[in-house]
Amino acid sequence: MSLLSAFKGSGPSGFGYGSTAEDVTEGLDLSGKTILITGCNSGIGKESFRVLAARGAHIIAAARTEEKAQATADELGVSAQTTVVACELSEPESVRASVEAVKAASRTIDVLMLNAGIMALPELQVHHGYELQFLTNHIGHFILTQGLREMLSEDARVVALSSAGHQHTPKGGIAFDNLDGRKGYDAWRFYGQSKLANLLFARELARQFEGSERQAYSVHPGVIKTNLTRHMNPILTSLFGMFESLTLKNVEQGAATQCYVAVHPQVDASGAYFADCNEAKSSRYGRDMELARRLWEESERIVEGL
Three-class SS string for the chain? CCCCCCCCCECCCCCECCCCHHHHHCCCCCCCCEEEEECCCCHHHHHHHHHHHHCCCEEEEEECCHHHHHHHHHHHCCHHHEEEEECCCCCHHHHHHHHHHHHHCCCCEEEEEECCCCCCCCCCCEECCEEHHHHHHHHHHHHHHHHHHHHEEEEEEEEEECCHHHHCCCCCCCCHHHCCCCCCCCHHHHHHHHHHHHHHHHHHHHHHHCCCCCEEEEEECCCECCHHHHHCCHHHHHHHHHHHHHHCECHHHHCHHHHHHHHCCCCCCCCCEEECCEECCCCCHHHCHHHHHHHHHHHHHHHHCC
Q: Is residue 185 annotated as part of the catalytic site, yes or no?
A: yes
Angle at CA 76, nearest 5°, toward 74 and 78? 70
Q: How far is CA 298 from the centre of its chain?
A: 20
* Identified catalytic residue from 185, 191, 217, 273: 185
Catalytic residues: 185
